[in-house]
């Protein structure tokens, strides 16, 4: 089975979210194609329901075929065997996404005619609410065709934007990035955020079905995070008032994975000596997880000096005036 991931922009963070999910569920994959926003993997199993967890992928296709766009394009499309992907008892629609910005003719109509001819005009199209969707992607003079098996709920992420939550802070990260952090941390069952802030990471974790645990030194953040979680109908959580320098004292155990966006700037009231605070908090975090840890910072940080192994660093702009560095640690 070949699976195409149409990613949110050409960035390593989005690709590694996909790779981390497969590795977390111990599924082997082979990279078939990796260009721009397109990532195609060859996998052995067809049951990959966990892709619904993805935050930085627009949609996923079960690849049917791909070929160069040339004089034989119409012939190639009409030679497709649709029997394994579509059936007479299910409606369908076709859409084509052209990333080349070059006019290649109405390929959407040609694909639809190919489907209709294959089923001898007995299959029904439904443009508003189809059971199945066939998607074509034009990229670098090549046409990729597949059956959609996942599409990110854009509206769902939009209603979870930080400014729309009952408890809000302008430094809160985007929910898609929060979700990617959780996935890259390889959390399957539970997640700890030792700097909950407004609870953005735990909101995504809760919606993914993970057990959510959090700490914050400010009572208003603890109360606000609980309010935000309940707002999205996440009713099971364990958020405690406390100091991130004492994780094991607070919970008395370690956690599968940790994902957190460390405090910075005026929002930091933990310690006047921020460097000392960071060092002590990160040392506490190092002793508190089993798999992986994702930490977001507004600066570079020497995590090796306190015993971490830095697996990867992702740096990109998350606000107009702020570049964040996301460290994957083990």
CATH of the domain at 198: 3.40.50.150
* Model confidence band, residue 103 (pLDDT cutoffs 50, 70, 90): confident
pLDDT for residue 266: 44
* Confidence check: pLDDT of 80 > 90: yes
* Model confidence band, residue 198 (pLDDT cutoffs 50, 70, 90): very high
C-alpha to C-alpha distance for 132 and 147, rounded to whole angstroms: 7
pLDDT, tens only, 214-269: 999 999 999 999 999 999 999 999 999 999 999 999 999 999 999 999 987 544 45
pLDDT for residue 210: 97
Q: Are residues 180 and 160 in the same domain?
A: yes
pLDDT for residue 45: 83
Q: Are residues 73 and 212 in the same domain?
A: no
* Model confidence band, residue 274 (pLDDT cutoffs 50, 70, 90): confident
Domain residues for 227? 155-329
* Confidence check: pLDDT of 142 > 80: yes
CATH, residue 68: 3.30.2130.30
pLDDT for residue 264: 72
Tokens found for residue 282: 């990160």
Q: Are residues 305 and 162 in the same domain?
A: yes
Mean pLDDT, all residues of the chain: 93
pLDDT for residue 221: 96
pLDDT for residue 260: 98
pTM of the model: 0.93
pLDDT for residue 229: 98
Q: Cα–chain-centroid distance for residue 304?
A: 27
Q: Are residues 309 and 168 in the same domain?
A: yes
Percentages (nearest 5) of helix, strand, coil residues in the chain: 30, 30, 40
Q: Are residues 279 and 300 in the same domain?
A: yes
Q: Are residues 299 and 204 in the same domain?
A: yes
Higher pLDDT, 77 or 102: 77
Q: Are residues 42 and 179 in the same domain?
A: no
Q: What end-to-end distance do the CA atoms of the chain give, in Å?
A: 32
CB atoms within 10 A of CB 221: 23
Higher pLDDT, 318 or 38: 38
* Model confidence band, residue 319 (pLDDT cutoffs 50, 70, 90): low
pLDDT for residue 81: 95
Q: Are residues 251 and 162 in the same domain?
A: yes
* Confidence check: pLDDT of 272 > 60: no
Q: Are residues 21 and 47 in the same domain?
A: yes
Percent of the chain with pLDDT over 70: 96
pLDDT, tens only, 3-53: 999 999 867 899 999 999 999 999 999 999 999 999 999 999 878 999 999
Q: Are residues 181 and 139 in the same domain?
A: no
Domain boundary among 152, 169, 187: 152
* Confidence check: pLDDT of 136 > 60: yes
CB atoms within 10 A of CB 265: 9
Weakest-pLDDT range from 165-169, 180-184, 295-299, 317-321:
317-321
Q: Are residues 138 and 262 in the same domain?
A: no
Q: Where are the alpha helices (DSSP H) in the chain?
A: 12-24, 73-78, 107-118, 154-158, 175-184, 200-207, 219-231, 247-251, 274-286
Q: Count of domains in the chain?
A: 2
Domain boundary among 132, 152, 172: 152
Q: Are residues 164 and 147 in the same domain?
A: no
Domain boundary among 134, 152, 170: 152
* Beta carbons of 325 and 300 less than 8 angstroms apart: yes
């Amino acid at each position: 089975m070949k699976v195409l991931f149409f990613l949110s922009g050409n960035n390593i963070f989005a690709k590694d979210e996909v790779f981390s999910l497969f590795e977390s569920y111990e599924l082997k994959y082979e990279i078939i194609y990796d260009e721009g926003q397109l990532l195609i993997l060859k996998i052995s199993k067809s049951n990959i329901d966990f892709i619904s967890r993805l935050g930085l992928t627009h949609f996923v296709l079960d690849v049917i075929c791909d070929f160069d766009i040339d004089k034989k394009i119409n012939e190639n499309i009409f030679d497709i065997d649709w029997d394994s992907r579509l059936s007479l008892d299910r409606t369908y629609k076709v859409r084509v996404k052209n990333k080349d910005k070059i006019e290649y003719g109405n390929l959407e109509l040609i694909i639809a005619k190919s489907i209709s001819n294959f089923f001898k005009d007995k299959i029904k199209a439904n443009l508003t609410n189809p059971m199945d969707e066939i998607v074509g992607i034009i990229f670098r003079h090549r046409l990729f065709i597949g059956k959609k098996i996942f599409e990110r709920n854009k509206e769902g992420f939009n209603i979870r934007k930080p400014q729309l939550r009952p408890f809000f802070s302008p430094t809160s990260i985007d929910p898609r990035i929060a979700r990617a952090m959780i996935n890259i941390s390889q959390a399957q069952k539970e997640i700890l955020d030792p700097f909950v802030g407004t609870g953005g990471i735990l909101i995504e974790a809760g919606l993914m079905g993970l057990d959510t645990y959090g700490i914050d030194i400010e009572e208003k953040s603890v109360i606000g995070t609980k309010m935000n979680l309940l707002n999205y109908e996440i009713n099971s959580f364990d958020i405690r008032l406390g100091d991130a320098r004492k994780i094991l004292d607070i919970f008395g155990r370690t956690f599968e994975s940790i994902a957190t966006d460390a405090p910075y700037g005026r929002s930091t009231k933990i310690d006047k000596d921020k460097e000392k605070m960071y060092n002590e908090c990160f040392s506490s975090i190092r002793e508190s997880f089993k798999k992986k840890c994702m930490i977001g910072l507004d600066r570079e940080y020497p995590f090796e000096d306190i015993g971490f192994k830095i697996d990867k660093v992702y740096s990109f702009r998350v606000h107009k005036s702020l570049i964040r560095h996301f460290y994957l640690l083990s």
